[in-house]
Each structure stands twice: as C-alpha cells, then as structure tokens.
Amino acid sequence: MKVFISWSGEMSKAVAEALHSWLPCVIQALKPWVSSHDIQRGVRWSPALAKELDETKVGIICLTPDNLKAPWILFEAGALSKTVDTAFVCPFLFKVENSDLEDPLAQFQTTKAQKDETRNLIQTINKCSGAFALDEGALNRVFEKWWPDLEKRLRAIPVSRAAAKLPKRTDREILEEILEHVRNASKTISSSRAVAPSKAVPPAAPEQPPEDPQLAAIKVKVYGQSNFLGSCLEHMSNWHFENGEVTFLYARKDAFFADLLKSREQQEILRTACTQVMGQPVKICVRLEDQVGGELPLGGPMR
C-alpha cells in the first residue's frame, strides 16, 4: 500500500527519510513514497506527483517549526485533501505543537513525534492496509521492537537555525483564532434557525444546472484512465471548445490542479478523451482565469 510522505526544508526532509525507511519495518506491505528518494534525477515532478497521488491511500505531512507556511507543504496538503480521505491525511509534528498550526493544516488530525501518538498513527495506517493488515497483537509487538530505531533517528535531527529563530504564536493570537471559529460557528447556527413558521413547508433547494453533456462524457473517459486526473477536472471553473482546441480554465486559487494537468502524460489522456468525445483531433490548453488570460507556466512551488 502506498504512503505519500510530504516534506519541505532540511529538518522536514530528515524526518521524512526516517519515516520512509522505518514504516516498512513495522508493516512490510507499506510502500512509502518520498520525492527525495523516489523521483529519479531528470524526471519532471508533475507526472510523478500525479501518479503517486492517484495511488495513495495515506498521506503523512512532516511539519517542523520552519515549514508551517512553506508553499510546498500547503501545496501537497491541498492535493492530498482532494484525492485522499481526509481521515488519512496525517500531519506528523516534529518539535511543533498543535497550537502552532493554522488553517488549513489545523483541520487535520495530527500526530506528535512521540511513542504513543506514533503508535496511533501506525494503527490508522494498518486499518487502511486491507488484506495485508496485521492483527493488533502482532502490530504492537512489531511496533515495540522498531520504535527505538525511529526515536533514535529523530533525536539525532538537528534544529535548523531558521527554526530556532522562529517566534512562537502568542496566547492572544491563539485565543483570537478560537474566538473567530466560535463566531463563525455561531453565525452558521443562527442562519439555520432563521425565523419561519414552524409548519411552513421549507422552500425547495434551487436546482443545479445540468452539466454540459460533452464535459460529462470527457470526465467519464478521463476517470476511466486516472481517478486523480478526473478529480483535477472537478476543480476547474470553466471550459470551452473552439477552433479544434479544448481549453480548461482554473481559478488562481486552484493553480496547482491546473499545473498537474500540463504534464505530457496527463495531456495525452485528456487529448484522447476529448478527441473521442468531440469526434475530431483536438489540442489541449490549460489556463488560469485572469485579466491577461496568460497560460500557466510549468513548474511548482519550491521546497
């Protein structure tokens, strides 16, 4: 079973590599994937990332004091949350407290780099392993045997200078964030209790406009080749077909989905699906919605 391990920065990379070698010792059926190990030099990151996300059931995000707002961490956390059940997206906190996290990372169930919480993480991963899952007794025995090895490697990871200089969030900042969440929840509850006659028939929900049949057909064919690529199409804001070119438009906030569509492998799947639906050879274009209408450049956030 594939386990996707996300990292950004030297501390986080060391944690990711420790988990990469340790996890199969506990559950042999696991196949952890870390880009620093598993993307060959010269291979474009976009197709490799798309392929791994398409096959991943569990994602571990290695968080350290110096990467909590790193673009790459937020990028991969967003991608994981769209393609993996959020119950199995697991931030692994190394020298970080839950109170240090802000949205969107604060929305996930976290694991501290401590024995008991790491055991809980292993139990969660084991439940996802299907026929390869170990029984609880065997899992505990194997975990007890191998935990000292991971603990030793984690203790040996030095704190980076950047992490040592980062200020901690103040109590006031944390309280203000909690207050904001409480206020938002209160507004939601108040809206749901809008004044209305108790016996009145609730108004019917507005009907959603039917999806364009050609686009629906394209999605069916794409999903038949790649669930990940199909999920990327779900996040586009618009599309059109003109002069033999199919253009997929994305809002700037969903730029990373657009970028993933631009690899040669993904483009070929899209081109084949669109050609079959349109009944003629087509070109594929992926753009961001902006005033200039410029095409999104290849590449992704830096680690």
3 state SS of 58: strand
Q: What is the pLDDT of residue 178?
A: 52
pLDDT of residue 5: 93
Query: What CATH number labels 213-288?
Result: 3.30.300
pTM of the full structure: 0.60
- Of residues 208 and 83, the one with the higher pLDDT is 83
Residues of the chain by 3-state class (helix, strand, coil), percent to 5: 55, 15, 35
Q: Is the pLDDT of residue 187 over 50?
A: no
CATH 3.90.25.10 fits 2-164, yes or no: no
| Least-confidence region, from 10-24, 131-145, 167-181, 214-228 | 167-181
The arithmetic mean of pLDDT across residues 147-155, rounded, is 97
Q: pLDDT confidence of 20, banded at 50, 70, 90?
A: very high
Q: Tell me the one-letter amino acid at 299.
A: G
pLDDT for the residue numbered 164: 57
Q: What are the residue ranges spanned by the domains of the chain?
A: 2-164, 213-288
Dump pLDDT digits (tens) for 56-100: 889 999 999 989 888 888 878 877 877 777 668 899 999 999 888
Rounded mean pLDDT of the chain? 79
pLDDT at position 177 is 52
pLDDT for residue 118: 97
**Could you tell me which residues come within 8 angstroms of residue 73 by beta carbon, excluding any fewer than 6 positions away?**
6, 7, 8, 12, 61, 63, 67, 105
Provide the pLDDT confidence category of residue 140 given band limits of 50, 70 and 90: very high
Residue 40, pLDDT above cutoff 50: no
What residue type is 139 in one-letter code? L
What CA–CA distance (Å, rounded) separates 242 from 220? 21
pLDDT tier at 16, thresholds 50, 70, 90: very high
Q: What pLDDT does residue 77 have?
A: 83
Which one has a higher pLDDT value, 265 or 238? 238
Over 80: is that where the pLDDT of 189 sits?
A: no
272 contacts 229 by C-beta, under 8 angstroms: no
- What's the pLDDT at 69? 85
Whether the per-residue pLDDT at 276 is higher than 70: the answer is yes
Residue 55 has what pLDDT? 77
Distance CA 208, CA 18 (A): 48
- Cα–Cα distance measured from residue 140 to residue 147, given in angstroms and rounded to the nearest whole number: 10
For the chain, how many helices (H) and strands (E)? 12, 8
**21 pLDDT more than 90:** yes
Is residue 191's pLDDT more than 60? no
